[in-house]
Chains A and B, each alone.
Chain A
Amino acid sequence: MEKGKFKERFTKFHDKNYKLLILIPVALLLFGFVYMGFFYSQHHDFIYKDVSLTGGTTATVNVIDKPIDINNLKNAISGKLEGVNIREISDLITNKQTAIVVETKSDSQITKTVLENYLGYSLDEQNSSFEFTRSGLSENFYKQLLIAVLIAFVLMAIVVFIQFKTIVPSLTVISCAFADIFMTLVTANILGLQISTAGIVAFLMLIGYSVDTDILLTTKAIKRDNGSLNKRLFESFKTGITMTLTAIFSVSVSLIIIGSFSSILSQIFTIMLIGLIFDIINTWVTNASIIKWYALKKQKKHEA
């Protein structure tokens, strides 16, 4: 009984206020634009890039017997290498240090020599990994990946238009995908995440994940005519929120397990997690409100 009452009250509330609800994402977006304006004027870029996008070396040294003190290491090598960033990888169960990761803008030969001098033994392919990208190449990669995201977005938009063939619903789906990506980007910058090539791939993945709940909602709301509009919206909400929550939970579980082990995978999972959370707002507040507005208007026109 309680549940039914709540549903009724919520429907009433929604019918009255759904247009107002759009103000929430609009406010978030406005904040995002202002923030990104400041961010760009300070950093002349949209993101904090890691060495895979700025050029430089990532060195992973496997810890064999005794752990390496990160602070000591940092103090010792900071003067000798450019822009040093150090983190450790530890075992999920025993929490023992298994490797340390040094990121620097210096090239791999210098990094290797400096690390070898500190550690007192030589580094080979058995006890360490080195990944080096020249800055010219990484700038190139960065440019290409941005273009890839852009092309992906345009292709997605075209497919959405073909599918719905009407302007308002299509534009809504597309702007929700944009809002997902944009809000995730802003959050990543606020958190100070250094984005790698894999991170940009994660943004690309967001396009696919954000669009499917929007397509579900829009298809049910405008392409079908069984039951009341509210009922159809509510049904698609039940399905869509299960989809998003399942994704959020499984991404979180993976993120906890992978943890520090792979910066590639943990960055993909982190960005997806942020994106999925924003997707809830953008699908069930933004998209739902606009589509309700649109459907009701069309209904009225039809009746008149």
Chain B
Amino acid sequence: MKLKFTWKIWLWLIFLILALISIFITPTFLQKGVLVKSVNQNSSIFEQGLRTEQVITAIDGKTINNVDDYFKIMQSKFPATENVKTIITTSGGEYSIYSNKVPEITVSNLPKTNLKTGLDLSGGARALVQAKDHKLTSSEVNDLVNVVSNRLNVYGFSDISIKAVSDSPIPGRGNNYMSVEAAGKTPKELENLISQQGKFEAKIGNETVFIGGEKDITNVARSGQGVGISCPSGQSGVNGYYCQFQFTISMSQKAAERQAAITNNLSVVSSSSGKNYLSKPLDLYLDDKFYSNLSISSDLKGQVTTQISIEGSGTGLTLQDASNAAQDEMKKLQTVLMTGSLPFQLEIVKIDTISPTLGQTFTKYILIAGVASLLTVVVIIFIKYKKWKLAIPPLIICTSEIIITLGIAAIIKQDLDLPGIAGILAAIGTGVDDQIVVLDEARTKEALSIKQRIKRAFTIILGAYFTAAVSLLPLLWAGAGLLKGFAIMSLIGITLGVLITRPAFADIVNMIEE
């Protein structure tokens, strides 16, 4: 057989190669190291300039090839009794930090492909949030997205995607949701941060002194003097241990004046310890629920002070738990004080937290199923046409359809989730059908040239294509985009099938038959 490639075959080959490139040539291609996934924005290494997406190649001069290397070094160094120096070499420069704690960053192995798997395969959390008793407009959702993103940033979460989604193609119609997705490990506080309105109020009696947010709070100290956790030893009661936290905030001049005016009217009382306090404490409320109260020292009566210290506590079964709880609580409170409350009372209407463990086994099973069904196709075509020469091209074409679809998914950054995989399978299925049409039309005993026959095959193929394509469109919106993966992947699959792979298949069959 003389090989003479037509332009359709060349086009197909070019697409195949481009797809392979877009899948496998990652930004860190041929590099070695670990990828920085997140950096705590309050850490000194962040201040020095370490950012996500940088590649750590060495620590203290020792080469890092993967996550295991990284953790081995970190485990051997930390926790340390005193501050030690750590030099982190990255693609973006060198950073050195002094600390007795592990650097506040998370890392992962360098990705081998540009494909991103969806939460149902890689694990993570996803939530849809709506306002309670109120239908959000699209601009309201966008506001909400901004406030919540800011809140998560302040809290120190980075690897989280927040966006507004709608379940209608017509703007202004349908329902709007805020969608939140976190890949990998699910942050414990996520649920609270995205659904808690975070309305913070400080009151004396029933008069408001200040509320959370930039208007009244000019600064929240998160480290330094007056900030910290203390765990009184031996405090083991019904709830186990308890730890206290404390941090200072600065109020705006207006809020401070308000406080002065209110405290001016209070009387001074003496406590049993001999200290003098004002008759009413400063009551703190979070989301209209009483949170804690602070006694006001008598010398603050009528004074305009902008600095104020906030206290609270956390409990736990062990001392460590109690300390962590206090730490989390402090962080949460600092966050709502800085970012203010959300414009609406929210409710989580859908939340999924997916374990990464099953996903890996899953991927394996899907691959086995894919290979097995492709082989089934080959066997059936062989049984029907009794020629290996005709049974092998469908296998190659189907495989190439999968590769090119994945390549396009990598370029448009479409997550590969279970509905998406089902979509690819659906597209491959129609591909096989089309190939059978081509094979049969090419082999009819009519007195037509092979070109005419294949042209006839394509009237059927295009007819089937358009019906399948239009029936997928409604899925792009229905279900708040949760099934979008299916529609997008199958649309990509069938479209490239009709435009590229199936014409190439026809020419290959042509070549074999001639």
Give A residues with C-beta under 8 Å from B: 60, 62, 89, 92, 98-99, 108, 125-134, 136-137, 140-141, 144-145, 147-149, 151-153, 155-156, 158-160, 163, 197-198, 201, 204-205, 207-209, 211-213, 215-216, 219-220, 223-224, 226-227, 235, 238-239, 242-243, 245-247, 249-251, 253-254, 257-258, 261-262, 264-265, 268
Contacts and interface: CB of A to CB of B under 8 A. Distances in A.
B474 A152 contact: yes
A253 B369 contact: yes
A264 B430 contact: no
Contact of B355 (A128, A207, A262): A128
Contact of B470 (A130, A156, A213, A262): A156
B430 A152 contact: no
Interface stretch (B238-246, B274-282, B458-466): B458-466
A249 B436 CA distance: 15
B48 to A, nearest CB: 31
Contact of B463 (A163, A227, A235): A163
Interface in B360-398: 361-362, 365-366, 368-370, 372-374, 376-377, 380-381, 384
Interface of B: 123, 125, 128, 130, 167, 175, 185-186, 347-358, 361-362, 365-366, 368-370, 372-374, 376-377, 380-381, 384, 418-419, 421-422, 425-426, 429-430, 432-433, 436-437, 440-441, 444, 446, 456, 459-460, 463-464, 466-468, 470-475, 477-480, 482-483, 486
Contact of A257 (B372, B377, B464): B372
A153 to B, nearest CB: 7
B179 to A, nearest CB: 12
B349 A155 contact: no
Contact of A198 (B358, B419, B444): B419
A98 B364 CA distance: 14
A60 B358 contact: yes
A163 B151 CA distance: 54
A45 B162 CA distance: 35
| Chain B interface main SS type | helix
Given A137-B128, A216-B464, A265-B421, 7 more contacts: A92-B368, A125-B355, A145-B479, A156-B471, A197-B483, A250-B429, A258-B366
Nearest to B417: A264
A147 B355 contact: no
A189 B201 CA distance: 55
A262 B437 contact: no
A152 B476 CA distance: 11
Nearest to B368: A257
A282 to B, nearest CB: 15
A129 to B, nearest CB: 5
Given A144-B478, A250-B377, A215 B463 contact: yes
A98 B444 CA distance: 51
B111 to A, nearest CB: 21
A207 B471 contact: yes
25 contacts: A60-B358, A89-B358, A126-B356, A126-B357, A132-B351, A140-B167, A149-B474, A151-B474, A159-B463, A198-B483, A201-B483, A208-B467, A212-B433, A212-B468, A215-B464, A226-B446, A242-B436, A243-B436, A243-B437, A246-B377, A246-B433, A249-B377, A254-B425, A262-B365, A265-B422
